[in-house]
Amino acid sequence: MENKDHFNHETERIVLSIIIREFSRINSLLEAISYPMFASAIHQEIWKNLVSVLETGMEPRPEVFIQFLTSKDQLEVCGGESYILMLAGRNDKA
């Protein structure tokens, strides 16, 4: 079994942040990423939910993503609203 303790959670936050902030520029790269690539359970859940948002045809803008997570009762599982806003670069509510 692989030891995931050596993964850097900050790197995962950066990857998710870039995806949320720059989705329209990098959406072609999203097929190369899968949730097991994230060591953090929170980041795995964020990724799974981002994919679900994309499958609906919506862009994962922070407001849309937060509303989606809330509707699926997944917001707290994904770190809460302030964490999603932090990933999106909106620290005013964090």
pLDDT of residue 67: 97
Q: Which residue has the tokens 């936050």?
A: 13
* Distance between CA atoms of residues 67 and 73, nearest Å: 10
7 band by pLDDT with thresholds 50, 70 and 90: low
pLDDT in tens, 19-42: 888 777 666 677 778 878 888 999
CATH class of 7-30+38-93: mainly alpha
Q: State both tokens at 40.
A: 């953090």
pTM of the model: 0.77
pLDDT in tens, 67-94: 999 999 999 999 999 999 999 998 754 4
For residue 16, pLDDT over 70 is answered with yes
